[in-house]
Amino acid sequence: MPHALTRSLDRSATLFLIVVAACGVLIPLSNLLLPAGSLFQVPTYLVALFGKYACYAVLALSIDLIWGYCGILSLGHGAFFALGGYAMGMYLMRQIGTRGVYGNPILPDFMVFLNYPKLPWYWHGFDMFWFAALMVVLVPGLLAFCFGWLAFRSRVTGVYLSIITQAMTYALLLAFFRNDFGFGGNNGLTDFKDILGFNVQADGTRAALFALSCLAIVIAFLICRAVVTSKLGKVLIAVRDAESRTRFLGYRVESYKLFVFTLSACMAGVAGALYVPQVGIINPSEFAPGNSIEAVIWVAVGGRGTLIGAALGAVVVNYAKTYFTSGPLAPYWLFMLGAMFILVTLLLPKGIVGTFNSWWEPLKANRLTANTEGAVAEDGVSEPHMAE
């Protein structure tokens, strides 16, 4: 496995991992060790903001894995992100204990307010971190497996698959809005206190969560690279480009699509779990179809089928969202987002990284050719010519 991961990395991928790892180390150290007001000190609010961007980058990687390399356009991947967030939120709510408003050692505040007689059965076990971490991966993965098994066996593809993924996340949105569903209704889960015994609002905890988010980017990127550069990845690309021909060659296309779709959902769930303690809340709005569509735009802007571009697009678009939604242009952000997507589609159809690669590769090839010809000329060796 280590050999497969090393073999899957090229120069750009290695540089990307070095930059992410450096950010995961230097930014927390800058926040914790340097005095406030220092030129190089990163404020706590920026650490939390960058942590959100890192979680979004993991979500973008999960979408690029299925869309960029397998041709599965999911407009409901925010559902897996939110389910992972709810699993972590349930653990954080169980850690509050008697420090809640009503002081109930077992029931969260919203359950006391709604007169729940006892803790619902599906909340049991979430007082243990290992169980919550397992559910972060298992719940989104199980939903993706069941959904994908039904959809792919029925050979639902293209825009029809996109529509039913959007319907799935909208159905979950309506379900989680209900107070009797047991997840806080419209208000969701909030007022978190501790995570693994550490104050979730402390600077050190926020710095550690940011470092973990950067580590999640590294791990998710390595997994995606290992998949797409393997024989499995070649089959996925064949499915993307010519699904019918791949099936006629004897490959079980549904099995390949189901595997990568489930893997992608598990990655999205991990991203959601890291997102919740950093923002301090999880509510049904995370299931909104618009969030899933926005995540697809991140991938399109950065470069579909590049992985690095997906993570870069998530950071760029969300930084633009943070910048423009805090000023006089805030009411027009959605129009700007739509215009960005249209302009990228028309002018940069391969995204930022894809367009850069399409410009750089010919220049690199020409330079290598020139160097080869120069070396041949210096050695006095020429290519043999065909007899006329």
Task: Express each pLDDT in 336-364 by its tens digit.
Answer: 888 887 888 788 778 888 777 777 667 66
Integer Cα distance of 297 and 196 in angstroms: 35
Which DSSP string corresponds to 246-272?
Answer: HHHTT--HHHHHHHHHHHHHHHHHHHH
CA 298 to chain CA centroid, nearest Å: 10
More confident site: 290 or 386: 290
Q: What type of residue sits at position 355?
A: T
Residues 6+ apart with CB under 8 A from 310: 57, 60, 61, 63, 64, 68, 298, 299, 302, 303, 304
Q: Is 145 exposed, middle or buried (0-12, 13-18, 19+ CB in 10 A)?
A: middle
181: DSSP letter = G
Question: 35-44, 171-180, 234-243: lowest mean pLDDT where?
Answer: 35-44
Read off the pLDDT band of 47 (50, 70, 90).
very high
Q: Report whether 68 contacts 302 (CB < 8 A).
A: no
Q: Tell me what pLDDT residue 247 has.
A: 92
Q: DSSP 3-state assignment of 201?
A: coil
More confident site: 128 or 325: 128
CB atoms inside a 10 Å sphere around CB 195: 18
Integer Cα distance of 183 and 174 in angstroms: 12
pLDDT of residue 256 exceeding 60: yes
Task: Express each pLDDT in 326-335 by its tens digit.
Answer: 777 778 888 8
Average pLDDT over residues 218-238: 94
